[in-house]
């Protein structure tokens, strides 16, 4: 007979759910509601009076070329960081899953960057690639490259991208390695006996069984790029030069905190939230179909 857990107290399930619901309401729904309300207001320079202007903030936002520039930067930045961080993490996880000498040290070193805060990761990479004092920055200039992330938009974009990828590889590596170790070795050995080479075994057996992990990481990495890379951009480039590294989340900060335009900043945060929700819904609607559970 099937054993079932029965709660005799009717209020117990609600009591168990209450802490999580409270956290969600206080730290997500309440701030989101405030942002939506703030996006319909215009506040004077001294913060004394506010005026309800309906969709005026959104209209001015969509007529601003700088906003479309930030949207393009975000699209390119999120694509490059997600693809590179997932690809490198998968390669490293496949190598770590093999019988290697000193594999424990190898895995430990790969996990360490996950403990580094995004702002600290940005500072580390800026120190290494500072054009006049950084070790790698001086090496690039000595090799003939005119490396200067303070003035060159391509260099600045490459630097924040490298820092963001390095920061996220450890997280992806952990999940990929756990997924690889959960695959039955008997399946791979049977395929090898049947004559399948390493490449065929990986794409026909290993990767399809990793698809749930890959799908989860794809969703998490997109959220990471849209929000958690703010610390890296703020410490390394502050959105410059000339807006080359200004993503949507950094534009929310710069317009609201530096520019003092709280209404437009709130409208940008609402649009950013809708974009992330839409991308997540599209992933579950189309990409999840190809996931093998």
The model's confidence at residue 132, banded by pLDDT at 50, 70 and 90, is confident
Reported as a pLDDT band with limits 50, 70 and 90, residue 155 is very high
Q: What is the mean pLDDT of the chain?
A: 86
Amino acid 3: pLDDT: 66
pLDDT, tens digit, 9 for 90 and up, residues 186-237: 888 888 887 878 788 888 888 888 888 888 899 899 989 999 899 999 999 9
Torsion of CA 255, 259, 261, 267, to 10 degrees: 0
Q: CB–CB of 201/191 below 8 Å? A: yes
Measure the CA–CA gap between 54 and 63, rounded to whole angstroms: 16
Q: What is the pLDDT of residue 2?
A: 59
Pick left, alpha or beta for residue 54 (phi over 0 → left; psi -120 to 50 → alpha; otherwise beta): left
pLDDT of 175-192, one tens digit each?
Answer: 998 888 888 888 888 888
């Amino acid at each position: 007979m099937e054993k079932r857990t029965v709660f005799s107290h009717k209020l117990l399930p609600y009591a168990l759910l209450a802490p999580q619901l409270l956290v969600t309401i206080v730290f997500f729904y309440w701030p989101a509601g405030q942002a939506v309300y703030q996006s319909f207001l215009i506040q004077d320079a001294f913060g004394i009076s506010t005026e309800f202007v309906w969709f005026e903030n959104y209209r001015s936002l969509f007529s601003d070329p700088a906003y479309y520039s930030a949207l393009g930067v975000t699209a390119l930045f999120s694509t490059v960081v997600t693809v590179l961080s997932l690809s490198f993490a998968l390669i490293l996880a496949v190598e770590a899953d093999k019988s290697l000498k000193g594999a424990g040290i190898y895995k430990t070193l790969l996990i360490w960057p996950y403990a580094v805060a995004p702002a600290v990761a940005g500072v580390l990479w800026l120190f290494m690639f500072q054009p006049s004092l950084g070790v790698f920055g001086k090496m690039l200039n000595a090799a003939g490259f005119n490396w200067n992330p303070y003035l060159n938009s391509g260099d600045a974009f490459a630097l924040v991208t490298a820092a963001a990828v390095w920061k996220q590889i450890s997280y992806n590596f952990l999940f990929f390695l756990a997924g690889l170790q959960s695959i039955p070795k008997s399946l791979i050995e049977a395929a090898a006996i049947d004559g399948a080479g390493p490449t065929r075994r990986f794409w026909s057996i290993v990767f399809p069984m990793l698809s749930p992990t890959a799908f989860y990481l794809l969703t998490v990495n997109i959220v990471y790029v849209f929000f958690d890379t703010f610390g890296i951009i703020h410490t390394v480039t502050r959105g410059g030069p000339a807006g080359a590294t200004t993503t949507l989340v950094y534009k929310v900060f710069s317009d609201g905190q530096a520019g003092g335009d709280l209404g437009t900043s709130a409208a940008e945060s609402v649009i950013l939230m809708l974009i992330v929700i839409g991308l997540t819904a599209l992933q579950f609607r189309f990409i999840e179909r190809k996931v093998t559970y």
